[in-house]
Amino acid sequence: MLLQDKVVIVTGAGGGIGRDFALACGKAGAKVVVNDIGASVKGEGFDVGPAQRVVDEIRAAGGTAVANTDSVADWDAANRIVKTAIDAFGRIDGIINNAGILRDRFFFNMSIEEWKAVIDVHLNGAFYVARAAAPYFKSQESGAIVNMTSTSGLIGNVGQANYSAAKLGIVGLSKSIALDMAKFNVRSNCIAPFAWSRMISSIPTETPDQKARVERMKTMETAKIAPMGVYLLSDQASADKVTGQIFGVRANEIFLFNHNRPIRSVHRAEGWTPETIASQAIPAMKGSFPRMDVSADVFSWDPI
């Protein structure tokens, strides 16, 4: 089993993709800390039930797991999540930063609270949990982190400025972790999941196109994402030197996303003025401008 005797934390593991990650890690031999505060999609409320139910499922299948209900959005609480792994199992080998909430709103109507709430859970939460585990990873000279990103950040989406910013920020965070922790044999990668879960079940279905899109999305099972998470946490991924990468999983498709690199340049020996930028630089580069796409424009074919 790829994760035999490894200790893994999965945040936001009370349902959906997180639950499937936790179950798959348990099946692969890992001892799992199932973290979930039991809140709504908007991050409201608290319920110990979801995390404990997933723990019970793992144990019923012959695995080992404990529940934790601390919030990733708080630094002290994030440290308690990691401490749960240390207290229960004596070490920490891997993290799947999956916890998330949605507060969708068009940018011009988005409140400060809606912005901060999403950034706190997704971006700050990923940093807090990974940072709390970093001293243990560093001292044992091993560890793996899987950070959940989204095409909302990688490509774009409407009505999700907070979520898109957080998810693209996670890509930068993940790359930085991969660079900073490489000498300690610690790896960090991202997964952009395509799956039908309660996180995206609020998508509007007012037009025929929207209804058709949702029906396509319902065919994408959350369990299809889990194998990639298990692989990225495993020693096999370490042997393959997989770190600093961005993968996408959609049904039976796996994608590798590129990183931002220069695609066109212009030079003027005399230097540039605003006027010459307008008359020369922009016309030269405009043909290479990326389109203002959203995720559905790029992934326009049905899941395979």
Cα–Cα distance for residue pair 90/193, rounded to 1 Å: 31
Ramachandran assignment for 278, one of left (phi > 0), alpha (psi -120 to 50 degrees), beta (any other)? alpha
Number of alpha carbons in the 13 Å side-chain half-sphere of residue 231: 16
Cα–Cα distance for residue pair 125/72, rounded to 1 Å: 5
Residue of 128, 136, 163, 231 marked active site:
163
Amino acid present at 10: V
Per the CB < 8 A criterion, the answer to whether 132 and 82 are in contact is yes
Runs of H (alpha helix) within 68-111: 75-89
Per the CB < 8 A criterion, the answer to whether 69 and 14 are in contact is no
Of 238, 244, 272, 263, residue with least CA distance to 170: 244
Active site residue 231: no
The structure tokens listed for 270 are 């005399």
The structure tokens listed for 165 are 């910013």
Q: What is the DSSP-derived secondary structure letter of residue 183?
A: G
Cα–Cα distance for residue pair 4/187, rounded to 1 Å: 18
Give the residue numbers marked as catalytic: 163
